[in-house]
Structure 1
Amino acid sequence: MQEQRDQSPTDSSRAVRLESFGGPEVLDIRDIPAPQASPGQVRVRVTAAGLNPMDWFMTADADTAARFGLSLPAGFGTDYAGVVDQVGDGVTGFAPGDRVFGGALSRAVADFVVIEPAEGTAANEAHHTPGGVDDRTAATLTIAGRTASAALAVVDLGPDDTVLIGGAAGGVGVFAVQLARITGARVIGTGSATSAGFLRDLGAEPVAYGDGLADRVRTLAPSGVTAAIDLHGTETVHAARELGVPDGRICTIAAQVDGVPAANGANAAPGTLEGLARLVAAGQLRVPLAASFPIEQIRRAVELQADRHVKGKVVIDL
């Protein structure tokens, strides 16, 4: 096994752990034995971990956790970025000192994570971080970027489209808006009154959510809307139907609606994350950072992220 030298001691690791399922109040920082890379694995010294609604949703109760294969004691967080510091036998393509990012299902908020790069699933993956992409940004790409890309693949946008994106200022929304704009589509994004400037900066035309949404969109786009993505619930779905958008060009990620396809980030096309990282490196995609917190403030960070009104992404620094 290859190991990066001149590192801080690696016999223990800080990790956010749950001894019971629940809200932010059950999150604690524990010193645990540092995991070691076995054959086929790499160990990553985590420098940043991005938070997503999925993180607290799947650890909120035992039944939901079981659906994701989680049991107690459990870790927390999935998106990570950092530096490889151990490479197990049989691993190719990675070496100590390589900067990487990816997903480690419900264990990313820790000093070290062990990844099996050959597995290639969203729950257990590592990708090389391109030059020009900082670790905080890389740590936001996996869940939200995959989900946005999968949703856009469903509605298949082009330059002749006008797409309505519900929840456009959130963690997935910042990707969906910009990726939709890259296709040449016109983007109308729902949000609160305070998010209007933020949405304009992303490239979307803001519209307030709530009662009368379809009428406000009709005024903004009298020529019609051709596609819609609902990133929050079902309000955008119902408005899109009222505006005449066919179900096949509407997509949800957080709700199930009969006749409307749903997107899952785990089903994003191969190469999605590498493509997103290249767009960031080229300056074509940016990830607004709403806030960053040290690991010691994990509860505060999750409370902010779970509020669902945060604009952009929340990151834990390690």
Structure 2
Amino acid sequence: MKAIGMTQFGGPEVLQVFDLPEAEPGYGEIVIGVRAAAVNPTDITFRTGGRAAALASRPGPYVPGMDVSGVVDKVGPGTDGRLRVGDPVIAYVNPFTPHGGAYAEQLVVAQSSVVPAPAKASFAEASTLLLNAVTARLSLDALALRPGRTVVIVGAAGAVGGFAVEMAKTEGLTVLAYASDADEALLRGLGADDVVPRRKDAASDVRNVLPEGADALIDGAALNERVLGAVADGGALASLKGWTGPTERGIRIQPVSSTSAAGDTALLNKLARQAESGELSLRVGDLLPASRAAEAHRRLVDGGVRGRLVLDFANPGW
């Protein structure tokens, strides 16, 4: 089978096509015939060596990718019969395992990380769900806000931010999206009660709308200490990139890592069903042949993409 990976870390040009052995499932594992793999910021960190220490114990090539859709090709021993050959599925993928990441024609994944794909969604759409929706879900859970409270979502037009807007609004929160003027229509369509336009800095921009500050904030742009001023005394901030403070004014910092839920089948299935019902919007920015993975990485780094870039493994362009 063919996979896209690298033997050294660096810019997009290090991504190459490799021929790897056909995937075989072990105990409790599923082989997915990949149809689409979403390109996420975590893939950029993986490619540039930001987590190289986690790969040091095994040889390359190192294959990126944490979000995948496809069909079940093989079912290993010790599985529970929940998934059968031919089923359309999505999976949360850990690229640091010996099996590698989602940029491959076939992928071995623990069955606990695989759930049925949202009905009626294309493979490209389905591939954009799990990593970002899990992050949004865990962020809101960490903040533990009661209905009626106010949450500011920074980076609301991004994939995590968009899901967080929809989830928060469904749960009765007052949602303020911090974003550019150009994204106002998108964010109001997702359910935001108000859009705070970027002008000076997040703290002062939010305080212009909420003089007392927000009850909580989801920091989808890794602004860290620069957004503390937007949070009310005794409030909470969900940090998505591992930042833990220092904090001020009794503000609680809640670091969130989606990898903790990689095998939470019930959560993954719930999110898939929410996408199926239309509660969560699946947004594809563009679909590119898998052979153009380097281009997708360049475009993601350049910014301005709304919705996820997706690699097409059904028509890879080898």
TM score, norm. by length of structure 1: 0.85
8 Å Cα contact 1:166-1:230 kept in structure 2: yes
Distance in 2, matches of 1:151 and 1:243, equals: 15
CA drift of 1:242 comes to: 4.8
Q: Which residue of 2 aligns with 1:116?
A: 110
SS at match of 2:107: strand
C-alpha distance in 2 between matches for 1:28 and 1:239: 39
1:251 aligns with 2:238: yes
Match of 1:317 among 301, 307, 312: 312
The CA distance in 2 between the partners of 1:264 and 1:78, in whole Å, is 13
Provide the rounded CA distance (Å) in 2 between the counterparts of 1:309 and 1:101: 26
Cα shift readout 1:169-200 (whole Å, capped 9, x = no counterpart): 11211111111111111211122232222222
Q: Tell me the distance in 2 between the aligned counterparts of 1:161 and 1:111.
A: 45
Q: Structure 2 CA distance, aligned partners of 1:56 and 1:296?
A: 16
> 1:157: Cα distance to partner?
2.8
Contact 1:290 1:313 in 2 (8 A): yes
Q: 2:296 aligns with which of 297, 301, 304?
A: 301
* Alpha-carbon shift at residue 76 of structure 1 (Å): 1.6
Match of 1:287 in 2: 282
- 1:16-35 matches, cutoff 5 A: 16-35=4-23
Counterpart of 2:68 (choices 64, 74, 80) is 80
Task: Determine the C-alpha separation between the residues in 2 that align with 1:153 and 1:30.
Answer: 40
Q: Contact 1:157/1:183 (CA < 8 Å) preserved in 2?
A: no
- Give the match's secondary structure for 1:244: strand
The alpha-carbon distance between structure 1 residues 243 and 103, as it changes in their structure 2 partners (threshold 3 A), is closer
Q: Determine if contact 1:170/1:309 at 8 Å carries over to the other structure.
A: no
What secondary structure sits across from 1:168 in the alignment?
coil
Q: Residues 140-155 of structure 1 correspond to what in structure 2 (within 5 A)?
A: 140-155=128-143
Match of residue 134, structure 1, among 114, 122, 128: 122
- The secondary structure found in structure 2 opposite 1:34 is coil
1:95 to 2:90 alignment = no
Residue 302 (structure 1) shift: 1.2
Q: Which residue does 2:258 correspond to in 1?
A: 265
Q: Give the Cα separation in 2 of the matches to 1:45 and 1:242.
A: 45
Which residue matches 1:196?
Answer: 184
Letter matched to residue 273 of structure 2? R
Equivalent residues of 2:32, 2:74 under 8 A apart: yes
Cα displacement (A) at 1:223: 6.8
Residue in 2 aligned with 1:206? 195
Offset, 1:55: 1.1
CA shift digits 1:218-249 (9 cap, x unpaired): 333457521111111226x54443552425x2
Distance 1:216 1:37, change over 3 A: closer
1:193–1:208 CA contact under 8 A, matched in 2 = yes
Q: Residue 230 of structure 1 corresponds to which residue in structure 2? A: 219
2:250 corresponds to: none
Identity %: 30
> Unpaired segments of 5 or more residues in structure 2?
96-100, 248-252, 314-318
Equivalent-residue separation in structure 2 for 1:84 and 1:170 (angstroms): 30
TM superposition score normalised by structure 2:
0.85
Q: Sort the Cα spacing of 1:188 and 1:14 in 2 relative to 1 into closer, same or farther, 3 A.
A: same
Moved more, 125-134 or 98-107: 125-134
What is the alpha-carbon distance in structure 2 between the residues aligned to residue 112 and residue 43 of structure 1? 7
Opposite residue 269 of structure 2, the aligned amino acid is E
**Once superposed, what is the RMSD of the aligned Cα atoms?**
2.3
Distance 1:17 1:143 in 2: 20
| Partner in structure 2 of residue 278 of structure 1 | 273
Q: CA contact under 8 A between 2:28 and 2:77: conserved in structure 1?
A: yes
Tell me which residue corresponds to 2:316. none
| In 2, Cα distance between equivalents of 1:245 and 1:229 | 16
Contact 1:49 1:108 in 2 (8 A): yes
